């Protein structure tokens, strides 16, 4: 079993916030790859299906971001899933808006959802970091990630989510570098055009 987790906060009031881009991504993956209905399981919502030749589980923890590790740990124990077969998709302020980078292991960089998963699984799972930009001041980070995407962000969010969903079977195959390359290819701006997205400097 391959486990793909999207991080976010539950409830309609949070649905369009930057912190919820992980939820948005797994919902798009479920739709594109014909997963079954979302059902309440593991203190969250889960959907089963296949990506490539692998049986896969999509999971949206509903315990609030700070306790994301509890649902992920419960699903991993139930299916006896090794951390190397777990990928977590989450927002990343230290990447420009719309940029995507994969990572395996390492620290949580202050992300509370990742911090919680570290506490339950250790650091040896895989991650897809989805850039949402930095507000430019560390004191504004919380308000930034808990605010809705702007109308202008729709120009890149839809194509990015489609690209992540298109490339997701590469994650199931363990080809994280190819996934990252595929997403970059599908979201590249037209020849001669800038992408118009403003991102963040390192650090927060």
- State the catalytic residues: 19
Residues facing residue 102 across a β-bridge? 128
C-alpha R_g of the chain: 16
**CA atoms of 68 and 8, how far apart (whole Å):** 9
| Backbone CA torsion sign across 160, 163, 165, 170 | negative
The phi-psi region of residue 6 (left if phi > 0; otherwise alpha if psi is between -120 and 50; otherwise beta) is: beta
| Backbone CA torsion sign across 66, 68, 32, 126 | positive
Number of H helices, E strands in the chain: 6, 7
Strands (E), the chain: 2-6, 39-41, 44-51, 54-61, 86-92, 100-104, 126-131
Going by C-alpha positions, the residue among 5, 11, 133 that lies closest to residue 60 is 5
């Amino acid at each position: 079993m391959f486990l793909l987790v999207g991080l976010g906060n539950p409830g309609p009031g949070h649905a369009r916030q930057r912190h919820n881009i992980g939820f948005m991504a797994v919902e798009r993956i479920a739709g594109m790859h014909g997963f079954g209905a979302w059902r309440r399981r593991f203190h969250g919502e889960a959907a089963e299906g296949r990506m490539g030749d692998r049986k896969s589980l999509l999971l949206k923890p509903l315990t609030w971001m700070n306790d994301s590790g509890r649902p992920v740990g419960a699903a991993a124990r139930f299916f006896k899933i090794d951390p190397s077969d777990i990928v977590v998709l989450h927002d990343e302020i230290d990447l420009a808006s719309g940029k995507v980078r994969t990572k395996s292991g390492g620290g949580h960089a202050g992300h509370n959802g990742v911090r919680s998963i570290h506490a339950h699984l250790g650091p040896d799972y895989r991650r897809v970091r989805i850039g949402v930009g930095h507000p430019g001041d560390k004191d504004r980070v919380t308000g930034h990630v808990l605010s809705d995407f702007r109308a202008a962000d729709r120009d890149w969010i839809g194509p990015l989510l489609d690209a992540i969903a298109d490339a997701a079977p590469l994650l199931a195959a363990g080809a994280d570098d190819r996934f990252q390359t595929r997403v970059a290819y599908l979201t590249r701006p037209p020849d001669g055009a800038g992408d118009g997205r403003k991102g963040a400097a390192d650090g927060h």
